[in-house]
Amino acid sequence: MPQQLTGKRVAIVVTDGFEQDELEKPRQALEEAGAKTEVISPKSGTVKGWKYTDWGTEVPVDKELRSADPNEYDALMLPGGQMNPDNLRTDVTAVQFVESFVRTGKPIAAICHGPLTLIEANGVRGRRMTSFPSIKTDLKNAGADWVDQEVVTDQGLVTSRKPDDIPAFNRKMIEEFAEGRHPSRLRSFTPATGTGKPETTTEGTFAGTKEKSSQENLGSQGRGQN
């Protein structure tokens, strides 16, 4: 596979109950394309996967969310599994981390139930996307244009429905991650909760952030991102 993602760093945000194949297979594809991936979680140590109908294997956590800086990553990947996004969407630090990628126009890939976390991060309104069918109503109620397709892309957002869609998901994810930031998302971001600002992004960890204007942010795109 061509090394389309050489030099790119990808954050994979999960907690216990992620669907095993939806982490491992996309991660393998990203690394084969040259990306460096890191599993980031509210937990330290390991996170336990879910394999179809029962618990799967444990995966080492590379970095805890509380010490992770979103500016160090070029793209975000959100695996599914029912328990995983349900827990992430109620974790304030996880939502803030994901919302940083939404605000800054960095590419995001989410599969199955993964888009649930994007609802909390103000990342679905006005976006064309898909998901596991059981969360279709959640996404539509949050303002998404939901469609039933194996993979959907919209300004750097890649979504798929289920593990069977992983080959198509991987292809589009690599393509969008290689393209990098989508500046139009900076203009379209409209936070529903007041936690974000359309004209600013943030630098640094959550313990000590500083604001950076969209003009500064766009001006840095040609340099080594994050």
Q: Which residues are within 8 A (CB) of 9 and not within 5 positions of it... i.e. 6 or more apart? A: 35, 36, 37, 38, 72, 73, 74, 75, 226
Q: What CA–CA distance (Å, rounded) separates 134 from 161?
A: 10
Q: 54-60 and 46-51 as β-strands: parallel, antiparallel, unpaired? A: antiparallel
> Percentage helix, strand, coil, to 5, in the chain?
35, 25, 40
Q: Which residues contact 19 (CB under 8 A, 6 or more apart)?
A: 49, 50, 51, 79, 80, 81, 84, 112, 113, 163
Q: Is 112 a catalytic residue?
A: yes
Q: Say which of 112, 144, 173, 186 is annotated catalytic.
A: 112
**Which candidate, 156, 191, 198, 149, places its Cα nearest to that of 173?**
156
Catalytic pick among 8, 48, 113, 185: 113
Residues 6+ positions from 52 with CB-CB distance below 8 Å = none
Among this protein's residues, is 113 annotated catalytic?
A: yes
Enumerate the active-site residues.
Answer: 112-113
